[in-house]
Amino acid sequence: MKKQFMTPLIIFGLLVILLVVGLMKAQYIRDVPSPLIGKPAPQFSLPTVIEPQQVFSNDELKGQVSLVNIWASWCVSCRAEHEILNYAAQKEGLKIYGINYKDEMDDARQWLKNRGNPYVKSAFDADGLLGIDWGVYGVPETFVIDTEGNIRYKHTGPIYIQDLKNIIIPCIESLKSGQGEKCEK
Amino acid sequence: MLCFLPMSASGGPRGAPKEPIVFENPQVEDDYLELAEELRCLVCQNQNLIDSNAELADDLRREVAKMLKKGQTKEQVKVFMVDRYGDFVLYNPPFKAQTILLWAGPFVLMFWGLFAMLKKIKADKAENNADSSELSAEEKEKLQAILKNK
């Protein structure tokens, strides 16, 4: 008789644990897992923000470890992130490429003029089609690219200083010197 | 906080209102509607593409329409989306190791419940049968007493 009551109770307990773990995870991991990790960066060839006659293509990403940051002048969180990117480019010497997503050319230029330009160059993705190829769903997003031109890490949302120091820089260092074992989440 | 691709006009990317999506071939339109029902809007994560007014949902709808009009199959469009956004973009997730609990769980629970129920019914029946067998001597006496009183 006692066992009869215990079985449903145990199953209920297991379900509760399952749900609690799911909820706790959801609180911290809001990111949609990217299927692009480990795959080559999407092919593209677009004009750049500063010099529209210049072309920026994915081939340029090969041969170095770099960051690709998706940004837009209309994106409020990009504003918070911009200082960090400036710092990363100037003080940490990171190579950052930009993809200017669904923006106006004039606004994008004004933004870089007012806030500083941490980017080696920024591709001008006016209609957001390149964004779809990168699986972008919320700006800003940042990708770590290895020397082969493969995507190794994705960060969704603005990069805070602790993200930069604890995750992104160790990932880049481990890619430069080894297999990128520090790039796993 | 993400700068989610804005759902309202304020603070969003600027531009003129876009042309509605028009189809000439009704078959393509059917395919389009079916896909837009099944693909998730990544921004408002509990809406599908057809329900969502988000900027990204609109872009993705247009992309789906463009691909179908070019003669690509529904399957090809789904692969295109999954390559970029993962299985998460599908409202109908595929059956694989990661989703086995999701797909098999309800059936396991259902069969377990059925099994437990049958077992219980059987046990109760056996108990009832045992009860309804011969009356004990004491019971017979009681019965006689009641009958006599009448």
* Structural domain contains residue B44: yes
Residues B106 and B77 in one domain: no
Q: Report residue A95 as tokens.
A: 């190579």
Q: What CA–CA distances, in Å, run from A174 to A32, A144, A156, A178?
A: 24, 12, 21, 5
* Structural domain contains residue B11: no
Q: How many domains in chain B?
A: 2
CATH of the domain at B41: 1.10.8.640
Q: For the segment A130-179, what is each residue's pLDDT rounded down to a tens digit? A: 999 999 988 899 999 999 999 999 998 999 999 999 999 999 999 998 77
Residues B109 and B129 in one domain: yes
Residues B109 and B77 in one domain: no
Of B1, B42, B82, which is closest to A77 when you measure between CB atoms?
Answer: B1
Residues B62 and B113 in one domain: no
- Model pTM score: 0.77
**Considering only alpha carbons, which residue of chain B is nearest residue A157?**
B2
Residues B32 and B82 in one domain: yes
Complex ipTM value: 0.79
Nearest residue to A75 via CA among A137, A27, A118: A137
How near does any CA of chain A get to the CA of B138, in Å? Answer: 29
Check whether A44 has a pLDDT greater than 50: yes
Q: For the segment A52-73, what is each residue's pLDDT rounded down to a tens digit? A: 899 999 999 999 999 999 999 9
Residues B139 and B84 in one domain: no
**Considering only alpha carbons, which residue of chain B is nearest residue A125?**
B13
| Contact of A78 with B3, CB cutoff 8 Å | yes
Q: Which domain holds residue B32?
A: 26-89
- Cβ–Cβ below 8 Å for B82 and A35: yes
Q: For the segment B100-145, what is each residue's pLDDT rounded down to a tens digit? A: 888 898 999 899 999 999 999 999 888 877 766 677 888 888 888 8
Q: Which of A132, A142, A154, A159 to mutate to test the interface with B (most CBs of B within 10 A)?
A: A132
Domain end position, chosen among B89, B114, B135: B89
* Structural domain contains residue B20: no
B2 Cβ under 8 Å from any chain A Cβ: yes
- Cβ–Cβ below 8 Å for A74 and B116: no
Residues B54 and B108 in one domain: no
* Structural domain contains residue B10: no
pLDDT band at B8 (very low <50, low <70, confident <90, very high): very low
